[in-house]
Structure 1
Amino acid sequence: MTSRKPFLALAVLAALSTGAAFAATVPAAGDAPRPAKLDKNGDGMIDRSEAAADPTLATQFDTLDTNKDGKLSRDERPHHRGGGRGEWMARLDTNKDGRINREEAKADPKFAARFDQMDVNKDGFVDGADRALRMQQHRDAWFAKADTDKDGKLSKAEFDAASQ
């Protein structure tokens, strides 16, 4: 069982590294929706064990499960309650240049209030580059915290401790 942890961690880090490349893309109309991929038993619902395959969904599961039946119905999933990130960004991006400027952000007061925080590279736009930079900062912070002896490498013990 312990031999699976390094492989799992490597897979997570690889997914985080490549995730930024796909963050700004919107799926084509013919692509299978993400919830269908999570719904392993094909019942149209996503239970807690199925949600575990998506770390973000897993952490939000209890909040999203409004009827507390232990399953996320179509209406409880974020995708069906106003769109996923791609749809949300497309709605704000009125000039369709692939990024949100301060003026466009005003259409969503909550987003406008966080604009400076979201514009990580301080170029006046929120776009895929900011998301990639934010993800890199999170990875770097996780690594720095996990690297307790500050040697620039993670020992098995450091990794195991950080993964729990």
Structure 2
Amino acid sequence: MRNRKPLLLLALLMTTGAAGLAVAADTPTAGDKPARVKLDTNGDGFIDRSEAAKAPRLAEKFDTLDANKDGKLSREEMPRWHGKRHGRGPGMHDRMAKLDVNKDGRISREEAKADPRLAERFDKMDLNKDGYLDKADRELGMKQHRDAWFAAADTNKDGQLSKAEFDAAKSPFGGPRGGKPPVH
């Protein structure tokens, strides 16, 4: 089975609005756990004030981010990643925004010609075949990926995932669910 990570990540990062798609604190680095897991030292799935203190920028915005004022940050309350690649140059969001010359929130075939690699893959990425790369393509790609993941995880093909099937399934990013090694 071929590796779908680059295409999935490209689809996830291709944005049409101001909001980024990936959660900064959940963005894994090569061979590393997601940053949120590093901050969540007690493993409860939340970042409390003492855990946030390890990340000064997060700690300084803690009260603003804590929307429900429960003293901890959930995944939904964590700041969004806006295409910045942690100081390593412009991210996908920035590159796509520059390609969108007419600022209509989508990349036409003509606009894509400014990036030869994108132009080369344009037809493959234009999933709904409307001649544009946009939110609809991104959402269709994510749906196709979820459907494929579910079909692979549903080993008995009953249209439902048992806990055992879910636990045995690999995450969409290739590793086992929950970061735990599979039980053999």
- TM superposition score normalised by structure 2: 0.51
Match of 1:114 in 2: 121
Structure 1, unpaired ranges of 5+ = 1-19, 29-33, 39-46, 54-76
Q: Distance in 1 between matches of 2:145 and 2:91?
A: 22
Root mean square deviation of aligned Cα: 3.0
CA shift for structure 1 position 27: 4.5
| Counterpart among 16, 20, 35 of residue 24 in structure 1 | 16
Q: Distance in 2 between matches of 1:126 and 1:85?
A: 13
Match of 2:97 in 1: 90
| Counterpart among 32, 57, 61 of residue 48 in structure 1 | 32
Please tell me whether the aligned partners of residues 146 and 158 of structure 1 are also in contact (alpha carbons under 8 angstroms).
yes
Distance of aligned partners of 1:133 and 1:27 in 2 relative to their CA distance in 1, 3 Å threshold: closer
Amino acid at match of 2:107: I
Alignment length, in residue pairs?
Answer: 108
Please tell me whether the aligned partners of residues 25 and 86 of structure 1 are also in contact (alpha carbons under 8 angstroms).
no
Please tell me whether the aligned partners of residues 17 and 105 of structure 2 are also in contact (alpha carbons under 8 angstroms).
no
Alpha-carbon displacement from aligned partner over 1:47-84 (angstroms, at most 9, x marks no partner): 9345465xxxxxxxxxxxxxxxxxxxxxxx72533422
Please tell me whether the aligned partners of residues 26 and 87 of structure 1 are also in contact (alpha carbons under 8 angstroms).
no
Q: Distance in 1 between matches of 2:99 and 2:86?
A: 16
Q: Distance in 2 between matches of 1:50 and 1:146?
A: 23
Q: Distance in 2 between matches of 1:91 and 1:105?
A: 10
Structure 2, unpaired ranges of 5+ = 1-11, 38-83, 171-175, 177-184
CA shift for structure 1 position 157: 1.2
Q: Distance in 2 between matches of 1:27 and 1:149?
A: 38
Runs (4+) off by over 4 Å: none
Q: Which has the higher helix share?
A: 1
Match of 2:158 in 1: 151
Q: Secondary structure at the match of 1:78?
A: coil
Amino acid at match of 1:48: D
Distance of aligned partners of 1:157 and 1:25 in 2 relative to their CA distance in 1, 3 Å threshold: same
